[in-house]
Amino acid sequence: MKIDGARAMVVGGASGMARATAEMLVREGARVAILDRVEAAKGEEVAAAIGGGTRFYRCDVTDFAAAEAAIKRAADDLGALHFGVNTAGGGIAKRTLTKGGPHPLDEFRAVIDLNLVASFNVARLQAERMARNSADESGERGVILMTASIAAFEGQIGQVAYSAAKAGIAGMTLTMARDLGSLGIRVVTIAPSLFHTGLTQGIPKAMEEGLVKDAAFPKRMGRPEEYAHMARAIFENPMMNGSVVRLDGGQRFAPK
């Protein structure tokens, strides 16, 4: 699907991989809305820095009703929606059972809500907007890009909630693509390894080397622009559909 002239919504777009993707989309000629839970002043600053008429909408994806309202407002302002990106997520470090007792159920549910339920909520609402588009010359109406993690496949000790949530995103990718295929809407998930975003920004070099020692090449953390580069390839290639694409330098997480 052509990026130039398209309308895109990037959830989590104030930082990291999502911001890099928003910047790429603007460079390629798209009009972009970024949604994020950061304070309005920070979000407006990021939107101005991205340029190209980018607008910011405050959105906490775990407040499902408020997120729906923010997505509706952003889509209305864009006038159409062709690309949807969601990188919002996070996890906790907690084992299934410790000396203090079993994993608290409310904390497990919170991770599922943030990563899995919120991803589905965003995707279903984006799909509804995309379905209103006229199909392009190849029959496409839109592309939904979700974000999992290689923890979906080889989660480390203490990642039980996060792994379950990201595995859920990976598991629904093909089914959602099949659900939406008749509408010309594609669904693809990127599963990154460790990237320089959020808590991993600015960690010492020695610590980074230890974290990525099991990667094949390159033996370093991913960069946000590399996620954006993959996103562009997915958007522009109509045969990319229903897949989970590992973006990991050949890394497989060890147990810890």
Q: Catalytic amino acids? A: 162
User: What is the torsion angle, in degrees rounded to the nearest 10, for the CA atoms of residue 67, residue 72, residue 77 and residue 82?
Assistant: 100
CA of residue 70 relative to chain centroid, distance: 17
- Asked if residues 240 and 189 have their Cβ atoms less than 8 Å apart, the reply is no
Rounded Cα gap, residues 76 and 78, in angstroms: 5
- Asked if residues 121 and 166 have their Cβ atoms less than 8 Å apart, the reply is no
CA dist list (Å): 207 to 68, 121, 200, 203 = 39, 36, 10, 7
Report DSSP state, residue 70: H
Rounded Cα gap, residues 149 and 167, in angstroms: 8
Classify the C-alpha dihedral 71-74-78-83 as positive or negative.
negative
Query: What are the φ and ψ backbone dihedral angles of 148, each rounded to 5 degrees?
Result: -105, -135
- Asked if residues 211 and 154 have their Cβ atoms less than 8 Å apart, the reply is no
Q: Which residues pair with 126 in a beta bridge?
A: none
> Is 8 strand, coil or helix?
strand
> Is 205 strand, coil or helix?
helix
Short-list 56, 227, 50, 239, CA closest to 143: 239
Query: What are the φ and ψ backbone dihedral angles of 156, each rounded to 5 degrees?
Result: -90, 165
